[in-house]
Structure 1
Amino acid sequence: MAVRRTRPRESAALVAFGRQLRRTREAKDVKQETIANLTKISPAQQSRIEAGKRRATRQYVEIVDDHLEASGSLINLWEDLNKDGHPVPIWFDWPQIESEATELITWQHSIVPGLLQTVSYTREFLTTEEAVEARIARQGILTRESSPPTALVALLSEAVLYHLVGSPEVMREQLEHLLTMSKLPNITIQVVRNNGRPAGTGGAFVVATMEDRSEVAYLETTIRGITTDAPADLGALSDAQRELRARALPEDQSQDVIRKALEQWT
């Protein structure tokens, strides 16, 4: 079943912090690029913080407060907006995050991830050609030449290879496509054999690492997809990744497993 993506919504708290940060910076006649260099983030990420589209870490706020001689006002505001130590919630536009990421790590227990799907496979989940074209277009980040292609690590449950989607012909084409994509230097596909106590039972997910090494995750649920960069969420996903990768077969063995599954659909 295709997961319906929610539209990003604005967080009033993040917008309020971003506006105050911008006022303080401009009052000191400091450029965005200066703050970005000081805090080791990209100018684009700095712009998003001031626009209320990305949350700032406490370490970031402490550095900026000191540089702008804000006397702790930015730190106090950040603390007021982060009740009980938990960052205020915000939803991101995942396709935008995905396109800007330097690396994506995904876990799928039921179906092939969208970035590795064939057109025929995709059509089994989406109801309009427009939606199909949009999903396939997103795959361009893996082969683009205008900028470095995104690195992708796809951890797939072995069951994904045997779930009939559409027809045997669709499955055969899809598994052949996985083998082709696995040969690209920026793509790693590993099969996870969940023998004994299963791993990754919390659901499918994708973790994006951005240019400034920050992370954003996309979680699939029955109701909707959730995008988050909350530290607690990222910590839980880090634990899940570690367990999954410990059970994942090496690349060459994973390719052998895919070839073996391909026999069923031939």
Structure 2
Amino acid sequence: MKSLLWRLGVPAVGLAVAIAAGWRLSSSATVLIVICAWLPLALFCLLAPRNRAALPVALVLLAAIGSIWWVLPGRPGDRSVAGSTLIWYPLLGGLALLAVVWRVHLRRGSVRPLWSRLRGTGSGGPSWQRWTATAVAAGMLAVGGCGGGLLHDQVSVPSPDELFPLPAGLEATTAEGPDGENGCDRTGHACWTYYQITGDNGESTTVLTERLQRHLRESKGWSDAECQPIRRTRVDLCITVTSDPASTDEHPAIGVELWTTKLGHTP
């Protein structure tokens, strides 16, 4: 009964922590946190054998979900690197599951897997359960290792969540900006997205600019600086508010360009 309680309780608490950690960032970040951080915890609680190490390790994985509050505190740029940061989390779940399932002792020169107490079976435990857990752990290691290696420190198009949702009365339309079509340059050192911002009742460009800048400061954590470094990366996130070429006296509009760049950093 005690085993059943923690196998259900720890994932339930973990899901609440994952949703709380992600919701302050964006809905897409919440989905990523559930998949990359909470799902390994749930699989561990489902597949881990009954031994003394299982519950403490599950609590460590729960604490790892809580660490997202520190890893992605919600500063500018966190939403753009959420995927490349969270993809590492399955590594911890995979290593934890392997360590608990294959606790090893050297006896007479051989390595013996111990799953001795699972459902009162023999010293080796049901092999299909042991190898199912091993396959799941290997999958988590592959996802975390390969995905993290491919996405680490990569310059990508800024996430729309760095700007949206906009305050009521402001509307955004994707448009071609001063740097051309939205995307990345050929060197892979910079990527950008441009939006045309309009308001209700023909608000002037000055009012639109003030409303947008206030939104960026209060909702997205921006300071007065145009560019801010993304923590633990060599990438800057920048945002530029300009006049839009399509703006007229009858239909005022401003332009906002979000861009990520490595150009200000040396390898």
Q: Larger relative CO (CA 8 A, sep 6+): 1 or 2?
A: 1
TM-score (norm 1): 0.32
